[in-house]
Structure 1
């Protein structure tokens, strides 16, 4: 029994201010998994800044999951977009990947969103990377056709295009 308890992924929790400085490094290491992908240069050149993370912390929409060996294994930053819960960024450190941390973070955040009365959750992601769109689809997200994008999703996609993302590989997704 002790072995099964040890293998269970830790529960996500609210981030603390003193932990914000390690999150950009997790984002960079996770981005390295995209080397060779057309979006790599965007991820390598544009990361979350401490101000954005601080704002998420102040909103109560920044969660982390602890690594079994100490430190932080991953995080999820959220916000609001046109009255919907917006998953802004989620990263798991590659050395802690494939242990359920991302799924635990997403489920925790979606539970918080539901408790706060959000009718749906939205995000944008890469369509061709298995740990992106396919992962979110496995958690109940569906691709939102461009004709159905809210003005907020249109603005997010325009911002991503301006950063240089290969937009033919970007999708908006929603979970009701």
Structure 2
């Protein structure tokens, strides 16, 4: 555990670098410790994480960001551009840094990137009814999609997650419409 205080340290969000890739799986493992407090989802704390090779690919694709406090890597976000959408694949904040604004800073960066790239929507899948999942993203304006509002892509992602052991009744897809945030499209 680190000996830093986010209140007295500067938080930096930047593009991921190749040298970050070996550190990111450990950040995700640490972040997953939050699931130890969620009945029925404790297994996630010991589940597989995004590999170093997958992180390197995301970094090369330009849709990977890391958060640092006092030059110490404490979080990351990875997204994929799919058509007119940006899909958030993973957002993880080291367990000892959770609740300090790191996830929010990363999320703002992801949204800003989507606006810059002129994407019309940001999508993600997450757990329902968890303050650090569905409720967290709702604070940024994400809406939980009902089954009839899911695109084929999001239905496929949820189906793949179910095959990996995610309980389908506890998962949801969310989207943030960015049309109003494009230049000339109104307030942000």
If the length of structure 1 is used for normalisation, what is the TM-score? Answer: 0.90
The answer to whether the 8 Å contact 1:9/1:101 transfers is no
TM-aligned CA deviation for residue 9 of structure 1: 5.0
The answer to whether the 8 Å contact 2:21/2:53 transfers is no
Higher relative contact order (CA 8 A, sep 6+): 1
Q: Alignment length, in residue pairs?
A: 171
| Structure 2 residue 11 is matched with structure 1 residue 17 | no
- Residue 3 of structure 1 is matched in structure 2 by none
| Structure 2 residue 85 is matched with structure 1 residue 84 | yes
- Residue 54 of structure 2 is matched in structure 1 by 52
The answer to whether the 8 Å contact 2:32/2:44 transfers is no
Distance 2:44 2:11 in 1: 31
- Residue 40 of structure 1 is matched in structure 2 by 42
Distance 2:173 2:106 in 1: 19
Summarize the Cα distance change of 1:40–1:80 in structure 2 as closer, same or farther, 3 Å threshold.
Answer: farther
**Unpaired runs of at least 5, structure 1:** 1-5
- Residue 148 of structure 1 is matched in structure 2 by 149
TM-aligned CA deviation for residue 32 of structure 1: 1.3
Render the CA deviation track for 1:91-136: whole Å, top value 9, x for unaligned.
0111112111100000011101111010000000011210110010
If the length of structure 2 is used for normalisation, what is the TM-score? Answer: 0.85
Distance 1:156 1:55 in 2: 19
Summarize the Cα distance change of 1:164–1:43 in structure 2 as closer, same or farther, 3 Å threshold.
Answer: farther
Distance 2:82 2:39 in 1: 28
